[in-house]
């Protein structure tokens, strides 16, 4: 029965990700890149300025979420198992060429991320001293479709709060079983217990934990990957050539490998970056900024950080090792084996601990996406409590479930989220374009941009910005 269900999910995913989603993600990303005049490249310097020192420091509301902490909430969800296990899965099924397509979806997906996160800021709503927002909110306020917003809220709550968290737990328990021989159920219960303690602290607790965990763990992983690249510098030309040949080589054309490289590169790249899924807008909306474009640019930068630093680190570790050519390992086991071959057997333990930190921050970020969308449907302490219990239960379930089942469900629900979110952002994108023009106009005059809704023709129901 379970195998039949797994096969059915795999068949649906094969259709969606071999045809519909590939065309949709690439096509819409290219369209937004054109309409925004390649904003992800021409304003890259502004992105860097904003993340380092470009935000207001005058605001003293202790309840508000800073732009950096909002960035860390989304980074916590982005930078997780997809970067370590997901990239290894892409290489296993799609070959080195999958990495090229992972890079491509990030380059154009950054424009999509800018659109959805700017819209999230435009349509955010005050929530005490902080804010809430995301696709459900811009569907209701921008498209006048609460029903569509509720549908998306249900999708993201199930996808992130439950299914994606089971993927994270699954990878953690496999890594700890390999490294320390700890029973997967025992490790799952420990992980579930720790998450339960944090999530009952609310959004500010999650934001604080994420801002403390995400930057240092990412830096440590990048440094290790950089060491491996330097020690294997003589084989790097061969690695880069294998990526390009895997994406475009004649052998791949004849054998159908290009299709597999595209499918798994884009599929796993989307899981890692979340550009277009509609998840990161929920975090982007929480930031207290003077102009929506500021957080839109920051979230676009997050796509680059995630892909070209973290995901590429994993790719180079695996490809430099050559382990993918000599074993049948996949997922986190492949990453562990590759790392161990480069820095010694202790790498298994090191990566297991790092996996725990990556996954823990992702579990918190994923959980928040579900909570904010439950609040959209109905403000109910009972509903939130039930959701918290379900989230903890799914972490425990994912700890012992099969890798095929949890990743298959994740891909299916991720596809449903993309298709729903794209309808909304294509319809509302004109307001993000106009906001960008307004931002650049004010910057050109030497001003710190401030957003006023009435300056954008046709913009209504913005709740927060109407009062400015």
Asked if residue 284 lies in contact with residue 69, where contact means CB atoms within 8 angstroms, the answer is no
DSSP-derived secondary structure letter, 132: E
- What pLDDT does residue 75 have? 61
Mean pLDDT of 64-86: 64
Q: Is the pLDDT of residue 87 over 70?
A: yes
Domains for the chain: give ranges and CATH numbers: 64-467 (1.20.1740.10)
Task: Give the three-class secondary structure for 39.
Answer: helix
pLDDT bin (cut points 50, 70, 90) of residue 422 is: very high
Q: Is the pLDDT of residue 62 over 70?
A: no
Mean pLDDT of 297-307: 87
pLDDT bin (cut points 50, 70, 90) of residue 138 is: very high
Asked if residue 415 lies in contact with residue 17, where contact means CB atoms within 8 angstroms, the answer is yes
- What pLDDT does residue 39 have? 93
Q: Is the pLDDT of residue 403 over 70?
A: no
Task: Give the three-class secondary structure for 186.
Answer: helix
Average pLDDT value over all residues in the chain: 82
Residue 249, both tokens: 């080589």
- Please indicate whether residue 61 or residue 410 has the higher confidence score (pLDDT): 410
CB-based contacts of 85, cutoff 8 Å, min separation 6: 171, 331, 332, 335
Q: Measured between alpha carbons, how far is residue 351 from residues 81, 92, 337, 347 in Å? A: 12, 19, 10, 6
- What pLDDT does residue 204 have? 55
High-pLDDT (> 70) share of the chain, %: 85
The Cα 368–Cα 412 span in angstroms is: 21
Residues 152-185 have pLDDT tens digits of 999 999 988 888 888 888 888 888 888 888 899 9
Residue 334, both tokens: 């492949």
pLDDT bin (cut points 50, 70, 90) of residue 112 is: very high
CB-based contacts of 334, cutoff 8 Å, min separation 6: 88, 89, 91, 92, 318, 323, 324, 327
pLDDT bin (cut points 50, 70, 90) of residue 210 is: low
Mean pLDDT of 16-43: 86
- What pLDDT does residue 186 have? 92
Task: Give the three-class secondary structure for 274.
Answer: coil
DSSP symbols for 3-25: HHHHHHHHHHHHHIIIIIHHHHH
The Cα 117–Cα 285 span in angstroms is: 7
- Please indicate whether residue 1 or residue 466 has the higher confidence score (pLDDT): 466
CB-based contacts of 207, cutoff 8 Å, min separation 6: 65, 69, 70, 72, 73, 286
Length of the chain in terms of residues written: 468
- What pLDDT does residue 437 have? 96
The Cα 24–Cα 285 span in angstroms is: 25
Q: How many CB atoms lie within 10 A of CB 230?
A: 9
- What pLDDT does residue 168 have? 83
- What pLDDT does residue 43 have? 94
């Amino acid at each position: 029965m379970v195998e039949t269900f797994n096969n059915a999910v795999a068949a649906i995913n094969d259709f969606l990700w071999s045809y519909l989603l590939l065309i949709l993600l690439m096509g819409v990303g290219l369209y937004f890149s054109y309409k925004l005049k390649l904003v992800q490249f021409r304003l890259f310097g502004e992105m860097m300025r904003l993340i380092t020192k470009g935000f207001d420091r005058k605001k003293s509301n202790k309840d508000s979420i800073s732009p950096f902490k909002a960035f860390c909430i989304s980074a916590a969800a982005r930078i997780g198992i997809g970067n370590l296990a997901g990239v290894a899965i892409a290489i296993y099924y799609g070959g080195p060429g999958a990495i090229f397509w992972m890079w491509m979806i990030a380059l154009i997906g950054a424009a999509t991320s800018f659109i959805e996160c700017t819209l999230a800021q435009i349509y955010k709503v005050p929530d005490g001293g902080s804010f809430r927002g995301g696709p459900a909110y811009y569907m209701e306020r921008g498209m006048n479709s609460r029903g569509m917003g509720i549908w998306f809220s249900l999708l993201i709550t199930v996808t992130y709060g439950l299914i994606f968290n089971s993927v994270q737990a699954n990878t953690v328990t496999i890594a700890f079983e390999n490294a320390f021989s700890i029973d997967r159920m025992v490790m799952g219960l420990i992980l579930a217990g720790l998450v339960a303690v944090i999530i009952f602290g609310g959004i500010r607790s999650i934001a604080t934990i994420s801002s403390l965990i995400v930057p240092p763990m990412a830096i440590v992983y990048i440094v290790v990957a950089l060491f491996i690249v330097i020690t294997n510098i003589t084989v790097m030309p061969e690695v880069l050539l294998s990526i390009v040949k895997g994406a475009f080589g004649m052998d791949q054309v004849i054998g159908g490998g290009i299709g597999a490289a595209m499918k798994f590169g884009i599929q796993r790249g989307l899981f890692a970056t979340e550009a277009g899924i509609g998840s990161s807008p929920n975090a982007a909306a929480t930031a207290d900024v003077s102009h929506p474009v500021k957080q839109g640019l920051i979230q676009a930068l997050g796509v680059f950080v995630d892909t070209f630093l973290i995901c590429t680190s994993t790719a180079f570790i695996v490809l430099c090792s050559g382990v993918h050519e000599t074993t049948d390992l996949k997922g986190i086991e492949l990453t562990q084996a590759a790392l161990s071959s480069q820095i010694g057997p202790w790498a298994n333990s090191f990566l297991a601990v790092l996996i725990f930190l990556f996954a823990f921050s992702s579990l918190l970020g994923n959980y928040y996406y579900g909570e904010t969308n439950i609040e959209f449907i109905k403000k109910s302490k009972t509903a939130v409590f039930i959701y918290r219990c379900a989230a903890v239960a799914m972490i425990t379930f994912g700890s012992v479930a099969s890798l095929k089942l949890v990743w298959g469900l994740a891909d299916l629900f991720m596809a449903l989220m993309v298709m729903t979110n794209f309808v909304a952002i294509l319809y509302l994108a004109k307001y993000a374009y106009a906001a960008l023009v307004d931002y650049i106009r004010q910057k050109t005059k030497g001003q710190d941009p401030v957003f006023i809704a009435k300056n954008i023709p046709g913009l209504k129901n913005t709740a927060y910005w109407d009062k400015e």
